[in-house]
Amino acid sequence: MIDINLIRDNPGLVKDNIKKKFQEEKVILVDEVKKLDEKWRKLKYDEDSLRSERNKISKKIADLKKAGKKADKELKEAKEIPEKIAKSEEKRKKLEKDIDYLMRQIPNIMHESVPKGKDETENVEVRQIGNSKVPRHKIIHHAELAEKFGLVDFDSAREVSGHGFYYLEGDLALLHSAILNFARDYMVKNGFTYVIPPFMIREKAVDGVMSFEEKDVMMYKMDKEDLYLIGTSEHSVIAKYVDKKIPGNKLPLQLTSYSPCFRKEVGAHGLEEKGLYRVHQFEKQEMVVICEPQDSYKWYDIMLNLTIGFFKELGIPVRILECCSGDLADLKAKSADVEAWSPRQKKYFEVGSCSNLTDAQARRLNIRIDNKGKLYYAHTLNNTVVASPRVLISILENFQKPDGTIDIPKALWPYMAGRKKIVMK
């Protein structure tokens, strides 16, 4: 959510930002907010004037009584003022809700470096890291290979839970845990505090960390309860600081969080129908930073480089794509996707993203910095360290031998109970 002063002082800038995101239908929201805000400010001015008038009358009543004079007229006026203030406050609070609802639909102001483009097809490649080679032998589809080895069961999961679920078994389940354990240790070694957050959050928290559109598409809601299953641990980690004032000397907060993740979306943009790429449930290691506004883009670069370093440790080739304006989620000011190389498909696929949300989440959740009594909104950033199923795919493809055996990346050996290969049994 942007600062309303931008709409008061520079509505043209806000409208231009919306147009760059190809969301022309939202331009009208700026004028609607401006109109409602003017009504709100008029009511606030009237309330302040009434309170001032009440104070003057109260003083006059006291003076008249002190002089032994009657104050019937003044007492009547004083009695009417609280009712007038209450009616005005009721109207103003209704306006505040209406303004807040509209403001949450207006996208964050993008960083000037964000390339203009309509959708993900116009994202810009920044760089490639690692050797994206295609071996001479045929690479077997990860789902086919895992089923052949008896390491995944999609059919049973479909009967128990439906499409988009899976049972991981044996060495593949062990590899899954090894990836997450390595990711945890990697982030802790890089100065981040390990967090296991709640896996369900209330609607106030959901509305604070994502747009209405994302909530409808992504989130599972618990029936008859004010609880949602999280789509990523970033949701509950950021929400931990709702309505809090963080002392400036405690910043930056560097947090790395583990959680299972639950998402309604499946197949909408998937590369394949069967497999582990797009599923309803997966596990993930995330990194979150809360910092001073002037430091957020420095942290954006640091966090992105940490993800690059993680994949270098695993030996998986990746590339960085700068998200264009039309592909940028409304709360984000700047974002980059990290994509891993698929030798089977001879192209890259998304394994994570790094985002700077500037003060958009902080405004929604009222997360402020207290710097020696001066209060202002914090900046928040998040970045995927690893989403386990997609990295499983990467390993099953990039480390697959001609006979179908899988070499386990050396960085994961300490977490694999002595195993260095996955072989047919």
Choose among 330, 351, 57: nearest CA to 213.
330
Q: What is the pLDDT of residue 425?
A: 66
Contact between 148 and 170 (Cβ < 8 Å): no
Instruction: Give the three-class secondary structure for 246.
Output: strand
> Any residues with CB less than 8 A from the CB of 299 and at least 6 apart, and which?
252, 289, 291, 356, 381
Instruction: Give the three-class secondary structure for 132.
Output: coil
Instruction: Kindly state the DSSP code that residue 3 receives in the 8-state scheme.
Output: -
Contacts 24+ apart (CB under 8 A), 123-126: 123/321, 123/322, 123/323, 123/324, 123/327, 123/337, 124/321, 124/322, 124/324, 125/319, 125/320, 125/321, 125/322, 126/319, 126/320, 126/321, 126/322, 126/336
How far apart, in whole angstroms, are the C-alpha atoms of residue 120 and residue 353?
13
Contact between 241 and 290 (Cβ < 8 Å): yes
How far apart, in whole angstroms, are the C-alpha atoms of residue 254 and residue 290?
7
How far apart, in whole angstroms, are the C-alpha atoms of residue 365 and residue 380?
11
Q: Which residues pair with 353 in a beta bridge?
A: 337
How far apart, in whole angstroms, are the C-alpha atoms of residue 312 and residue 338?
13
Taking only the tens of pLDDT, the chain with its 425 residues reads 899 999 999 999 999 999 999 999 999 999 999 999 999 999 999 988 988 888 888 888 787 777 778 777 777 777 788 888 999 999 999 999 999 999 999 999 999 999 999 999 999 999 999 999 999 999 999 999 999 999 999 999 999 998 889 999 999 999 999 999 999 999 999 999 999 999 999 999 998 888 877 888 889 999 999 999 999 999 999 999 999 999 999 999 999 999 999 998 754 544 346 788 889 999 999 999 999 999 999 999 999 999 999 999 999 999 999 999 999 999 999 999 999 999 999 999 999 999 999 999 999 999 999 999 999 999 999 999 999 889 999 999 999 999 889 999 999 999 999 999 998 76
Place of tokens 């439906």: 162
How far apart, in whole angstroms, are the C-alpha atoms of residue 239 and residue 366?
10
Domains and CATH numbers, the chain: 4-103 (1.10.287.40), 120-422 (3.30.930.10)
